[in-house]
Amino acid sequence: MKTQALMDTFDSLGLTQYQQDKVFPGGVNGRAIIVNAGADKENRLAVTSPIDGEKIADFNCASSADVADTVEKAQQAFQYWRTVPAPKRGDLVRLIALVVRERKQALAALITLEMGKTVQESLGEVQEWIDIAEFAVGLSRQLYGLTIATERPEHRMMEQWHPLGPVGVISAFNFPMAVWAWNSMLGLVCGDPVIWKPSEKTPLCALACQQVVMEALARSEFNKIPEAENLSHILVGDKHIGQALARHPGLPLISATGSVPMGKAVAQTVGARLGRHLLELGGNNAMIVAPSAELSLAIRAIVFSAVGTTGQRCTSLRRLLVHESLFDQVCEKVTHAYQQVSIGDPRDENNIIGPLIDEAALQAMTHAIEKARQQGGTVITGGERVNKGGSGGFYVKPCLIKIDLDAPVVKAETFAPILYLDQYSDLQEALTKHNNVPQGLSSAIFTESSREAELFLSAIGSDCGIANVNIGTSGAEIGGAFGGEKETGGGRESGSDAWKNYMRRSTNTINYGKDLPLAQGIKFDI
């Protein structure tokens, strides 16, 4: 099934036609799609679909030499792109949004095939790309600097935002298009070419994204400009490619999404050359359900946040703190919902839980459940593998575990649908537990009390980058800044003023007088 489905999807994305051009120099060879055909044949990467574990593509990975060459090309593109007025750059991104809108179904189908999220969620991910692209188009006329009051007569002080340079993007499998889109749509309007190392688990999605950009370029006024062809690059490969990008002084910014160990390695390497990094790492997101909570909303929010994307979002709900007065009721309702959810092939619209990405994810889940048991936890429901007609996909029942949230296992992010559940009697005590993890991405409270809600959002409330009231922890809109504190890495991507990451600020003071007054009233007569 895979070969045909993949080829159909690629056909509708125009990829097979495109490969004759230059993205797939090795061509489509039966089931295999080869990138960098000239590269080391030992260095091959097999891509399997999590739907059934079948191999869907074969790659030769990029090499470190490709990194140096690609950065050089991106630098050349930058020399050109930074001179193009920002609203004109925005016009390319407008065309990208247009192509994505036209190809939405096919792009979503590819996400589902390669990453395994449900069609609804894949459509949502593609929508996220459209949203950030259209946001970036508007932004291309709003890259504002301040004018600042100066203490000197006949002077003016202002700031300008200039393009930064080529940006290296390292992304994870779970949002194989949207996270790159957050970075590259903003990067492109800000004047920066983008070099992307996608997850080794989802390179086909990356190729499709590249195809979209190339198609938009072909439709744009930049279609005859050789430098414009080098605005967007992908390098398929393992962590050595990521490390080479992080080391390269030609990339002033590395934006990395993924695990905490990966983020630390990137931060150290980029930091050693005093480059900038933008990190979006692990989350360990919690929700507090207060006594006044509207339970019909809370239960849906809990289940969507905890089991959506099979618990493989950075923003997935992993910890639930329920007031003791509601504990039994919430526990019963969530258990009931967990036992009802349909699990299976994500292409079937009836299923709301697809497979885990791979066997390692299943093992991590099984291991965490075992540890939770050893640390005093009780499995209320789920955790078992579900056999889907002997398919090689890793389908699991979402797992609900009653445990003290101070247990060590709860402090680590396990990228799987495990929800740890605990009760509280006093909100202060709940907040302490809530914040007592190394990560700080997303959080939520369900309450009808404005006092409790405001406390949760205040400086002494949730310590996360995202704090919500009466909605779940996942499913953030692109308009807000996305990211978190502590081991989540401190970066902010996507909306609000996250664009400033992709630009350099120049503070300018202009003297239009006939004197040279010094700041701070310093006298310096020569």
Residues that bind ligand UN1 (CB under 6 A): 128, 174-175, 179, 257, 313-315, 474-476
Q: Report the alpha-carbon distance of residue 380 to residue 174 in Å, rounded.
A: 27
Q: Report the alpha-carbon distance of residue 370 to residue 355 in Å, rounded.
A: 20
| 102 Cβ neighbours under 8 A, 6+ residues apart | none
Closer of 176 and 193 to ligand UN1 (Cβ):
176
Q: How far is the CB of 120 from ligand UN1 (least distance, A)?
A: 13
Closer of 178 and 236 to ligand UN1 (Cβ):
178
| 90 Cβ neighbours under 8 A, 6+ residues apart | 136, 137, 138, 139, 140, 141, 189
Instruction: Specify whether the CB–CB gap between 440 and 486 falls below 8 A.
Output: yes
Q: How far is the CB of 421 from ligand UN1 (least distance, A)?
A: 21
Q: How far is the CB of 179 from ligand UN1 (least distance, A)?
A: 6
Closer of 171 and 232 to ligand UN1 (Cβ):
171
Q: How far is the CB of 357 from ligand UN1 (least distance, A)?
A: 13
- R_g (Cα) of the chain, nearest Å: 25
Closer of 27 and 479 to ligand UN1 (Cβ):
479
Q: How far is the CB of 125 from ligand UN1 (least distance, A)?
A: 8
Helices and strands of the chain, counted as H and E runs: 15, 25
Instruction: Specify whether the CB–CB gap between 75 and 162 falls below 8 A.
Output: no
Q: Report the alpha-carbon distance of residue 116 to residue 341 in Å, rounded.
A: 16
Q: What is the dihedral of CA 109, 113, 115, 118, to 10 degrees?
A: 60
Closer of 125 and 422 to ligand UN1 (Cβ):
125
Closer of 36 and 202 to ligand UN1 (Cβ):
202
Give the catalytic positions in this structure. 280, 314
> Given CA atoms 371, 373, 374, 375 in this order, what sign does their dihedral have?
positive
Q: How far is the CB of 11 from ligand UN1 (least distance, A)?
A: 29
Q: Report the alpha-carbon distance of residue 93 to residue 330 in Å, rounded.
A: 45
Burial of residue 62, with CB atoms counted within 10 A of its CB: 0-12 exposed, 13-18 middle, 19 or more buried: buried
Q: How far is the CB of 314 from ligand UN1 (least distance, A)?
A: 3
Q: What angle do CA 350, 105, 12 make, to 5 degrees?
A: 130
Closer of 315 and 462 to ligand UN1 (Cβ):
315
Coil, strand or helix at 340: helix
Q: How far is the CB of 290 from ligand UN1 (least distance, A)?
A: 23
Q: How far is the CB of 384 from ligand UN1 (least distance, A)?
A: 25
State how beta strands 378-381 and 317-323 pair.
Answer: unpaired
**124's tokens:** 């949502």
| 224 Cβ neighbours under 8 A, 6+ residues apart | none
Residues, the chain: 526
Q: Report the alpha-carbon distance of residue 290 to residue 430 in Å, rounded.
A: 10
Q: Report the alpha-carbon distance of residue 297 to residue 293 in Å, rounded.
A: 8
Instruction: Specify whether the CB–CB gap between 124 and 178 falls below 8 A.
Output: no
Q: Among candidates 158, 181, 165, which has minimal Cα distance to 107?
A: 181
Report which residue type is found at 292. Answer: S
> Helix H segments across 200-349?
203-219, 239-247, 260-272, 295-307, 327-340
Closer of 214 and 364 to ligand UN1 (Cβ):
364
Helix (H) or strand (E) holding 515: none
Closer of 231 and 307 to ligand UN1 (Cβ):
307
